[in-house]
A = this chain, B = another copy of it.
Amino acid sequence: MSKNQNILIIGAGLCGSLLALRMAQRGFQVTLVEKRPDLRKIIQDAGRSINLALSDRGLRGLRIAGVEEAAKKLCIPMNGRMIHDKAGNTFLSPYSGRKNEYINSVSRPGLNMLLLDEAEKMPNVKIIFNHACENVDLENASAVFKEFNSDKEITISADVIFGTDGAGSAVRKNMYENHKFLFSFSQQWLGHGYKELEIPAAENNGYRTYKNALHIWPRGEDMLIALPNLDGSFTVTLFLPYENNDYCFANLTTPEMVHEYFNKEYPDVVEMIPNLSEEFFNNPIGPLGTVKCSPWNSFGKVLLLGDAAHAIVPFYGQGMNASFEDVVVFDEILEKYASEENINWNTILKEYESKRINDTDAIADLAVDNFHEMKEHTAMEIFQNKRKLETAFEAEFPEEYYSKYSLVTFKESISYSEAMKRGRAQDKAILNLLDDGKLTEEMSLKEKLELVKKETQAILHDDEVAFG
List A residues at the B interface (Cβ < 8 Å): 182-189, 287, 289, 292, 372, 427-428, 431-432, 435, 462-463, 465-468
Residues of B within 8 A of A466 (CB): 427-428, 431-432
Docked Cα-Cα span, A466 to B380, in Å, equals: 13
- The answer on a CB contact under 8 Å between A182 and B428 is no
- The answer on a CB contact under 8 Å between A462 and B432 is yes
- The answer on a CB contact under 8 Å between B184 and A184 is no
- In the assembled complex, the CB of A347 is this many whole angstroms from the nearest CB of chain B, namely 13
Partner of A428, one of B183, B187, B289, B462: B462
- The answer on a CB contact under 8 Å between A431 and B465 is yes
Partner of A465, one of B185, B372, B435, B462: B435
Partner of A287, one of B182, B187, B188, B292: B182
Docked Cα-Cα span, A26 to B20, in Å, equals: 64
Docked Cα-Cα span, A281 to B343, in Å, equals: 36
**This protein's copies in its complex:** 2
Partner of A182, one of B189, B427, B432, B467: B189
Return the chain B residue nearest A434 by Cβ: B465
- In the assembled complex, the CB of A220 is this many whole angstroms from the nearest CB of chain B, namely 13
- The answer on a CB contact under 8 Å between A186 and B189 is no
Max chain B Cβ within 10 angstroms of own Cβ: one of A183, A189, A372, A427:
A189
Docked Cα-Cα span, A292 to B186, in Å, equals: 9
Residues of B within 8 A of A428 (CB): 462-463, 465-467
| A and B contact pairs by CB, cutoff 8 A, 6 listed | A182-B289, A184-B188, A186-B292, A431-B466, A432-B465, A435-B465
Residues of B within 8 A of A182 (CB): 189, 287, 289
- The answer on a CB contact under 8 Å between A188 and B186 is yes
Residues of B within 8 A of A462 (CB): 428, 432
Docked Cα-Cα span, A462 to B462, in Å, equals: 13
Return the chain B residue nearest A186 by Cβ: B186
Docked Cα-Cα span, A287 to B183, in Å, equals: 11
Docked Cα-Cα span, A432 to B462, in Å, equals: 6
Docked Cα-Cα span, A185 to B463, in Å, equals: 29
- In the assembled complex, the CB of A258 is this many whole angstroms from the nearest CB of chain B, namely 23
Residues of B within 8 A of A435 (CB): 465
The list of the 5 closest CB pairs from A to B, nearest first, reads: A186-B186, A428-B466, A182-B189, A435-B465, A184-B188
Residues of B within 8 A of A468 (CB): 372
Max chain B Cβ within 10 angstroms of own Cβ: one of A185, A186, A463:
A186
Residues of B within 8 A of A431 (CB): 465-466
Docked Cα-Cα span, A300 to B437, in Å, equals: 50
Docked Cα-Cα span, A289 to B183, in Å, equals: 10
Residues of B within 8 A of A465 (CB): 428, 431-432, 435
- In the assembled complex, the CB of A372 is this many whole angstroms from the nearest CB of chain B, namely 8
Partner of A189, one of B184, B187, B463: B184
Docked Cα-Cα span, A185 to B467, in Å, equals: 27
7 new A-B contacts, CB < 8 A, other than A185-B185, A428-B463, are A186-B188, A428-B462, A428-B467, A431-B465, A431-B466, A432-B462, A432-B466
- In the assembled complex, the CB of A67 is this many whole angstroms from the nearest CB of chain B, namely 36
Partner of A187, one of B185, B289, B463, B467: B185
Residues of B within 8 A of A188 (CB): 184, 186
Return the chain B residue nearest A292 by Cβ: B186
- The answer on a CB contact under 8 Å between B187 and A184 is yes
- The answer on a CB contact under 8 Å between A185 and B184 is no
- In the assembled complex, the CB of A379 is this many whole angstroms from the nearest CB of chain B, namely 14
Residues of B within 8 A of A287 (CB): 182
Return the chain B residue nearest A188 by Cβ: B184
Docked Cα-Cα span, A287 to B181, in Å, equals: 10
Docked Cα-Cα span, A462 to B436, in Å, equals: 10
Residues of B within 8 A of A372 (CB): 468
Return the chain B residue nearest A189 by Cβ: B182
- In the assembled complex, the CB of A402 is this many whole angstroms from the nearest CB of chain B, namely 18
